[in-house]
Structure 1
Amino acid sequence: MRTIDYRVIKENDVFLTTDKSGDIPSENPTGLGLYMQDTRFLNRMELYINDEKPLLLTSSAEENYLATILLTNKHMEREGELLLWRESIEIQRERFIFGGILYETVKLSNFSPTRIQFKLSTVFAADFSDMFIVRGYSETTAGEYLATEQSNTRLSFRYHGTDDVLRQTTIDWDDESGIAGGEGETIFNLSLLPATSKEITFTISPSLDGSLPAKLSKNEAIKCLKESYRDWVQQTTQVKSDMDSFNKLYNRGLQDLRVLLTDVGYGAFPVAGLPIFAVPFGRDSLIAALQMISSNPMIARGTLLTMAATQGTKEDDWRDEQPGKIMHEMRYGELANTNKIPFNPYYGTIDATPLFLVLLTEYYHWTEDLALVKQLLPNIESALHWINEYGDRDKDGFVEYHQESPKGILNQGWKDSADSIVHENGDLGQSPIALVEVQGYVYQAKMKLAPILRLLEKSQLANQIELEAELLKKKFNELFWMEDQQYFAIALDRDKKQVRSVTSNPGHLLMSGILDEEKAVKVSNRLVSSDLFSGYGIRTMSSGSSGFNPMSYHCGSVWPHDNSMCLLGLSSLGFKDAANTVITGLMEASACFEYSRLPELFCGYDNVRGFAIPYPVSCSPQAWAAGTPIAFLQVMLGLIPDAVAKTISLDPSLPSGMNALAVNQLAIGKGHLAMTITRVCNKVFRVELQSNTTGYRLITNETGVPQR
């Protein structure tokens, strides 16, 4: 099992990353720290015993909201005099975040047979660096560091930024015996009898413009935090199977998604991932909400409202913004506030706008919430206008991207690295570029939106977008299809030439309905062929393509979320065997990573080694990776709700090794479903319905007809 070399906890918009000992060391090249709103409020936090770093025994942040670290002291002598026998002190650090405050309790226990005396010291520092500076994308700013304030129970760092915002880190502790040492240092001279302990609790409060968050006691804060997690569990679909690996993976996904939730005023939504993308992301947040719609559709609501609130309103090349466009990324730090970077917000994404509409249509079918659709009707119309007018910049019927901002993103699909769109001869595709999956998103959005618009008496618009979708489907199947490969090109470049790499992107088309039937069969078969399927998942690029590299970020690696988008389509079209093959591979891969957690991505090597190879820089936890096992549920059930027809289609198929699946609290329509799926034999499954308060009619397929 591969462990990560940092520990991270988060709650709302505050998160902490440390090394496995719980420290933020002074030498800190990887950007560890305490962050809020894209600013590092602590860049150093170190604990010492008699001026020596303690030894790590173990550490864990498995629960996401609570981290525990266990340490002990080194053997200490000075000029032949024993200062402290080795392993005399057990040092337990426990920390969590609640209400915008980091709580850390240091518990020191004497395990020696005699009284011991020693010095506990801590050293803090705050550089207030913008996240883009920490990541090396920009030079330092020229704000003013104000004098550090320190007393026996408080330490305060302050910084007046070039954006005229006062940022402050206030550190309090509950032991008045502490004394001020050097800059940022606190010292506690302690004496412990055998078998006794001493606790010191620190509270660290990042704040803007001097407004400190309200503080609860440690016990009250942890109680409230744990209650919020219990509430989350009660609000989400509960699943239990006879396959322990799936149960662990599903529950891990739910827990990771909970810690990644943030609310900026419009309802909870998932940020992209930790440690460097704890902000609203158009594409990432929308896809994660889509993945988890079967577990908690209210997260889709919060995501939609957040995206609608920041929808583009004007033409602004600096931000790659146009009216109706859904944003790519929102940043809140000093550089964004002073317009040094175009991320407040930045709109350089080609797929977020159609994905916004796709998520909205799915949300309606799962919730029957026509009121929200009506509320967002201006945003819908604006998004459709952007697709037709700004997205299709050359009016050829396809949606293309092109970077306008000098500090923007070159490739604006989900594979956004500079080398991700590569011709078979190795040349990089030149923009404007029409991505294959984006055309599918546009088709799906328009076709699924049309009947909903008719409910709102928007028949003319519904008819128009259906006609546009039909024309798109015909032209798409002609111009993107590579006859010699019997597969779709990843893109058309600026000269309308196919970018002829074989990639995972066409797998996203399966859920859209844009594919001709015979082409859908060929795509599904290719996804699980040996060149694309590694044994642990679908690769981003075929091993037979010239640009393939199993260690590449986007040209040969395996991304769980990418697989989940393929899975949703494989299931909806009845390709159950292929779907189960992919699910099984991803579950086997998850066992290779800490906490049985699927990372953002991993290398695309074959499974002959018997374990998945980690990618060296991968966010964990990461929202759409966490959402992947949640999407498994919808795929296994073959579940498709239809709020217009008031029906739920159910066509279950379980992966090999799973013979029973119990589902409770599955929210659809006005209520919930509870049911059990049992394997009768091979591909025949029985559905036992315990309750249905949805208001929808359940249509099941239990025939066991041979599957495609």
Structure 2
Amino acid sequence: MEYRVLKDNELFLLTDKKGDIPLNHKYGLGLYKKDTRFLSEMKITINGEEPILLKSEPGETYESSMLLTNPHIEKDGEVELWRESIEIKRHRFIYSDVLYDRVTLRNYNPKKVKFTVELSLDVDFSDMFIVRGFQNGTTGKKLGVSQTANDLVFSYVGADDIKRNTRVAWDEQENANVNDQTIQVPIELDHGEVKELTLYIIPTLAGEKIEVHDWSLAYKGLKENYKTWNESVTNISTEYKPLQNLVDRGIQDLQALSTDVGHGPFFVAGLPWFGVPFGRDSLIAALQMLPFQPDIVRGTLRTMAHYQGTKKDSWRDEEPGKIMHEVRYGELANTNQVPFTPYYGSIDSTPLFLILVTEYVHWYKDMQLFEELEKTIEAALDWIDLYGDRDGDGFVEYHQESSKGIANQGWKDSADSVVHRNGDFGESPIALAEVQGYVYQAKAGLAQIYEANGQEEKAKTLWKQAESLKKKFESAFWMEDKEFYAIALDKNKERVGTLTSNPGHVLFSGMLMEERAQKVMDMLVSPAMFSGYGIRTMGEGEAAYNPISYHDGSVWPHDNSMILLGMGLLKGDEQANKVISGMIEASQSFENHRLPELFCGYSREEGKPVPYPVACSPQAWAAGTPLTFVRTMLGLYPNIENNQLAIHPKLLPEMSELSLENLPLGDGYLSLKVKRDSSGHQVDIHKNTTGFLIQKAEHVSVNV
């Protein structure tokens, strides 16, 4: 189903293309806050008849508009309203936890018309887990509906004893009636006359006070927020419009997905189902944004540090030092019916947290934040060694302990995602290939920071551990007959040998032997793995390959982005540009030219990309993927040891220039333009206040 979605901070709206939330629909439409549905019906009719949709623009994630008109309406042989007489415009946005919804009516009939606009409303206060059909459980009760001359208040007390309200207010209308939760507004319009009806929908929990602004002031405030956001992000420009549009769309979507739960801004995972703090998703999206906007990185690190595990709790798969997987705020979580307050069933969140710390310090040289987080960092390292390595073999493994937890705890977390070549599922404890790479990258990166900070003993210990892991990984995961790495080791330490994208993440770690890294890059762009639009999660021809599966043959933009970061680091220009070109082409087939969470893995020869039916869009790490295209094409990789920034540009054949204005680096900014012509690439640096030396590739000329 195509839907329209809006979000600002913790409030988001999901409607059909008309802008309605029909009663008893099956798609989870509604207005949500804190994992509770605060509006389960919102439908407009004219004289009891549904309007006809003319146009529905996906627009921005912060506002939406729909254009509708009336059907032909007769009663007892008398025409009440001639067809297409009334133009109906719906315009809505969310600002400061209030949904502003305006209906503008214009009469195109040559005569005066009279009709009634009805706005039907209901609230079920359902928990997100129940809406999605994942859980049932003990819930609270509705307290009824109260009304005044120009508002309705729906009330509910949850099983968690938290009172939840939805207040629906409207501009005063002298003749407005409320009948069975339907606002009825009689309208009279002369030819060409226009009238506006405005609703203000305010969800609240536990008596919180929320200020409702004048429509125009709220809209101005929203626009100013986006202007401030755009000014805080590095300006990226290219004459290649498909890439420019994709970058611009991603940056806007990321602003919509930014949230602050008290520790600074970070990105929630995605809409509609994952508008919450999410360990790996939030961390990877912050990593994608890292070179272009540091505030998000700081907020992400502080948020994850706040939720770091402190005890052994099998119900939540929690252990001391572990970085959480996901936080939920609904009544099922609050009453411990689901283990998500937070839930810790993620094997990769902890090393990804450490990677984000190291990449941030390498890029910005911010030792103050490093020192602020040092206890969190040490606890995370202890978790890797004491709990992550469950059997002391040097690899980090996962195993589900919670009865309502997640079985597969890597990023491919569906039940069928780790499968042997004969079709048998891998049994836990499972050591994933990419997780070993994350651990190596985290320890090696931290060792560099400790060395630069004069903490030699800590650095030596981490280097020793990293080198040991590197040797063990090559021995245990490399499949000589396939010239590729296994996705995992199962509980018997047998290789799970299916060809997958997972080993591609290890490229970014710097852990792989050079010759084998080249073979990995070649395999990832081979016909088995590369669909023409992106790298598949599983190779075509494998026993479990399924192009319409969630994790066994689909294409995930963020998966490709993690691989691209490694290809860029290793100067795999040809392979990287092949992937980037494919994904840019794929984006042209999706609504608003937006990369979704995932799409099906059918080959390009079979036609345009096939959408995955329930993919989230916008999704943070999909929105951040175009930013990795830019970083990879420019070859931007800082080195903390020699205070240099590598620039190794390789633009797509379709491009001739790419510019960055005010790229934050160190304690300053860098601005540059890369131009490509028949003689190669030229880099013009017209601002460098960073303190970093620019290290150019041999075939590139640099003008400073």
TM over 0.5: yes
Answer yes or no: is the 8 Å Cα contact 1:129–1:140 preserved in 2.
no
2:696 equivalent in structure 1:
700
Aligned equivalent of 1:207:
204
Q: Deviations over 1:520-539 (max 9, x none)?
A: 01101101111000100000
- 8 Å CA contact 1:308, 1:379 repeated in 2: yes
Query: Within 1, Cα distance between the matches of 2:372 and 2:453?
Result: 11
Which residue matches 1:230? Answer: 227
Partner residue of 2:19?
22
Q: 2:83 aligns with which of 78, 83, 86?
A: 86
Matched, 1:497 2:494: yes
- Ranges in structure 2 where 5+ consecutive residues have no aligned partner: none
- Equivalent in the alignment of 2:359: 362
Q: Distance in 2 between matches of 1:223 and 1:146?
A: 36
Matched, 1:305 2:302: yes
| Structure-2 separation of matches of 1:36 and 1:183 | 25
Amino acid at match of 2:157: H
Alpha-carbon spacing, 1:303–1:178, altered in 2? closer, same or farther (3 Å):
farther
Aligned to 2:40: 43
Q: CA deviation at 1:61?
A: 3.0
Contact 1:9 1:96 in 2 (8 A): yes
Tell me by how many angstroms 1:191 deviates.
0.3
Q: Distance in 1 between matches of 2:459 and 2:510?
A: 17
- Measured after TM superposition, the shift of residue 176 of structure 1 is 2.6
The residue identity in structure 1 corresponding to 2:69 is T
Q: Does 2:421 align with 1:439?
A: no
Q: How far is 1:87 from its partner?
A: 0.6
- Residue 554 of structure 2: aligned partner: 557
Deviation at 1:183, TM superposition (A): 2.3
Moved more, 389-398 or 146-155: 146-155
Q: Secondary structure of 2:28's match?
A: coil
1:68-467 alignment, distance < 5 Å? 68-467=65-464
Structure 2: distance between partners of 1:371 and 1:454:
16
Q: What is the SS of the residue equivalent to 1:198? A: strand
The alignment's C-alpha RMSD in Å is 1.1
Which secondary structure state, in structure 2, belongs to the residue aligned with residue 300 of structure 1?
A: helix
CA deviation after TM superposition for structure 1 residue 680, in Å: 2.6
8 Å CA contact 1:175–1:200 kept in 2: the answer is: no
Structure 2 distance, partners of 1:62, 1:421, is 38
Helix, strand or coil at the partner of 2:422: coil
In 2, distance between residues paired with 1:164 and 1:455? 52
Q: Is the 8 A contact 1:130 1:333 kept in 2?
A: yes
Q: Distance in 2 between matches of 1:183 and 1:20?
A: 25
Is 2:448–2:640's contact at 8 Å kept on the other side of the alignment? no
2:575 aligned with 1:578: yes
Cα shift readout 1:189-211 (whole Å, capped 9, x = no counterpart): 11000001000111000001222
Instruction: Report the CA distance between 1:456 and its aligned residue.
Output: 4.3
Distance, in Å, in 1 between the alignment partners of 2:24 and 2:688 is 58
CA distance in 2: counterparts of 1:39 and 1:136, whole angstroms: 14
Distance 1:694 1:638 in 2: 17
SS in 1 for 2:351: helix
The amino acid across from 2:636 in the alignment is: L
Once the two structures are superposed, what CA deviation does each residue of 1:205-249 show, in whole Å capped at 9, x if it has no partner?
000122230111111111011001011111101111121100001
Residues 158 and 166 of structure 1 are in contact (CA less than 8 Å); yes or no, is this contact kept in structure 2?
A: yes
Q: Distance in 1 between matches of 2:88 and 2:487?
A: 54
Question: What's the secondary structure of 2:686's corresponding residue?
Answer: strand
Taking only the aligned residue pairs, the percentage that are identical comes to 53
Q: Please, which of 626, 632, 640 is the counterpart of residue 637 of structure 2? A: 640
8 Å contact kept, 2:177–2:185: no
Q: Does 1:547 align with 2:524?
A: no
Tell me by how many angstroms 1:703 deviates: 1.1
Shift of 1:669: 1.0
Equivalence for 1:487: 484
Judge conservation of contact 2:139–2:332 (CA < 8 Å) in 1.
Answer: no
Match of 2:664 in 1: 667
* 178 and 430 in structure 1: CA distance in 2 versus 1, 3 angstrom threshold: farther
Distance 1:141 1:21 in 2: 34
C-alpha distance after superposition, 1:21-42 (max 9, x if no partner) = 0000002111000000000000
Match of 2:528 among 520, 526, 531: 531
| Distance (Å, rounded) in 1 between the aligned partners of 2:574 and 2:139 | 59
Give the TM-score taking structure 1 as reference length. Answer: 0.98
Provide the secondary structure at the position in 2 that maps to 1:515: coil
* Alpha-carbon distance in 1 for matches of 2:137, 2:54: 37
> Within 2, Cα distance between the matches of 1:551 and 1:88?
45
Aligned twin of 2:681: 685
Name the stretch that deviates more: 50-59 or 316-325.
50-59
CA shift digits 1:280-303 (9 cap, x unpaired):
000000000001112212211110
Q: Deviations along 1:73-115, whole A, 9 cap, x unmatched?
A: 0001111101000011011110000110000111111011110
Post-superposition Cα deviations, 1:292-350, rounded to whole Å, max 9, x if no partner, equal 11221221111000000000000000000000000000000101100000001000000
Q: Compare 458-467 and 395-404 and name the one that shifted more.
A: 458-467
Q: Which moved more, 1:160-169 or 1:451-460?
A: 451-460
In 1, Cα distance between equivalents of 2:453 and 2:201: 50
Alpha-carbon separation, structure 1, partners of 2:182 and 2:137: 25
Change (3 A) 1:389 1:194: same
Pairwise CA distance, 1:417: 0.3
Q: Which of residues 508, 515, 525 is equivalent to 1:518?
A: 515
Deviation, 1:644, is: 4.2
Q: Is the 8 A contact 1:72 1:87 kept in 2?
A: yes
The separation in 2 between residues aligned to 1:181 and 1:101, in whole angstroms, is 22
Letter in 2 for 1:272: A
Listed as ranges, the gaps of 5+ residues in structure 1 are none
Q: TM-score, normalised by structure 2?
A: 0.98
1:690 to partner: Cα distance? 1.3
Structure 1 residues 57, 26: CA separation in 2 closer, same or farther (over 3 Å shift)?
same
Q: Give the 3 Å change call, closer, same or farther, for CA 458–702 of structure 1 in structure 2.
A: closer
Greater mean deviation of Cα atoms: 364-373 or 307-316: 364-373
- More divergent stretch after superposition (38-47 vs 656-665): 656-665
- Compute the displacement of 1:596 (Å): 0.6
- Secondary structure of the residue aligned to 2:218 is helix
Q: Residue 125 of structure 2 aligns to which amino acid in structure 1?
A: F
Cα drift, residue 487 of structure 1: 0.3
Q: Structure 1's 658 and 610: CA in aligned 2 closer, same or farther, altered over 3 A?
A: farther
Secondary structure of 1:181's counterpart equals: strand
Residues 565-609 of structure 1, C-alpha deviations (whole Å, 9 max, x = no match): 000000100110100000000000000001110000000011013
